[in-house]
Structure formats: C-alpha cells, structure tokens
C-alpha cells in the first residue's frame, strides 16, 4: 500500500505557485527574469551626444593631460 506524506502532497502546489510567481515577475519586468543585460549595470562614459553638447574633452582637462603624458611615455 502506497502512502503519500504531507510534503509529497504539497509538492505540486508549491511548484505551481513558484511558476505563477515567476510568470508574474516576468510580466512586471517586461521579460524573462533570467536575461542579463550588461549595459544596464555598467557606466561606459559619456557618449557622442554628451560630447557634442559639452564640446568633447577639453585640452586643459586633467584627464586629457594624464592620457597625453602616458601616451608620450609609452610611445616615445
């Protein structure tokens, strides 16, 4: 005679609830919860529109000075 435990009886209900919650989250987020979009997590710096609006990198910028000095050091 086969007896099912209470945990075994709840397993299909738990699986159905998990699936329902996952589908709800996918609907709310507009896609799969398993997808990964690196561009949503990393800042890549100013783009062409920003440079156009702000005049690009200025020659007196400390970053430009560092880059130029490094370039001269490595390239002679």
pLDDT in tens, 28-67: 877 655 677 777 777 667 777 887 888 765 555 677 778 7
Q: Do 25 and 35 contact (CB within 8 A), yes or no?
A: no
Query: How many whole angstroms separate alpha carbon 12 and alpha carbon 23?
Result: 17
Please compute the mean of the pLDDT values over residues 4-15 and round it to a whole number. 81
The residues near 33 (Cβ < 8 Å, ≥ 6 apart) are 22, 25, 26
- Over the stretch 10-24, which tens digit does the pLDDT of each residue have? 888 888 899 999 888
C-alpha neighbours within 13 Å on the C-beta side of residue 64:
6
């Amino acid at each position: 005679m086969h007896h099912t435990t209470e945990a075994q009886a709840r397993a299909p209900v738990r699986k159905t609830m998990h699936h329902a919650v996952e589908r709800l989250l996918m609907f709310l987020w507009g896609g799969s919860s398993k997808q990964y979009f690196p561009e949503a997590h990393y800042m890549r710096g100013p783009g062409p529109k920003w440079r156009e609006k702000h005049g690009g990198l200025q020659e007196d910028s400390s970053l430009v000075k560092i880059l130029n000095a490094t370039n001269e050091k490595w390239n002679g």
